[in-house]
Structures are given as structure tokens and as C-alpha cells.
Amino acid sequence: MLRSILAVIVGYLVLAIPVFILFFAWFGGYNPQNLPEPGMGFMLFSLVFGFLFAGGGGYVCALIARRSEMNMLLPSLHSSWS
């Protein structure tokens, strides 16, 4: 049980940390009140990389929890879509 909880936490960090870094790099550390309007390029960029990072997080979660990787990968991709 503890291993599964740790797996979810680490899997989430594998998703969240790169997303934070990419958003910070894309917007260049702007003041949140003065952010530019995101364009279509940013929308596509965040969609593609969101899927990749969600898949990576699900895969790492499955490896740590010692479960079938595909059983964890597909729900993580689905959750990134919603």
C-alpha cells in the first residue's frame, strides 16, 4: 500500500516538474497579472508535451508500484485529456 502511494506521488512529480519548467520557460517568468494571451502555438505545444509527461508519469508510477505499465499509462493519458 505504501509503495503504491509513493508511486503515485513520484509519478505526479514526473508530470508536474517538467510542466512547471516548460511553462516558466515559455512565459519567461512574467508577472502573473501581466501574462500575455497564449496563442495557438502554445496550446498545441502544451497539449503534446502534456500527453508525453502524463505518459511518463504513469509509466514511472507503474514501475515503482510494480504493476503492468500499460494499465497505468492509459488512465494517465486519459486524465491529461480531461
pLDDT for residue 67:
67
The pLDDT, as a whole number, for residue 8 is: 87
Using pLDDT thresholds of 50, 70 and 90, give the confidence band for residue 4.
confident
What is residue 58's predicted lDDT score, i.e. its pLDDT? 84
Q: What is the pLDDT of residues 16-69, one digit of tens each?
A: 999 888 888 877 766 667 766 778 888 898 889 888 898 888 888 888 888 665
Q: Which residues of 41-60 are buried (b: 16+ CB within 10 A; e: fewer)?
A: eeeeeeeeebeebbbbbbbb
Question: What is the rounded average pLDDT of the residues 2-21?
Answer: 89
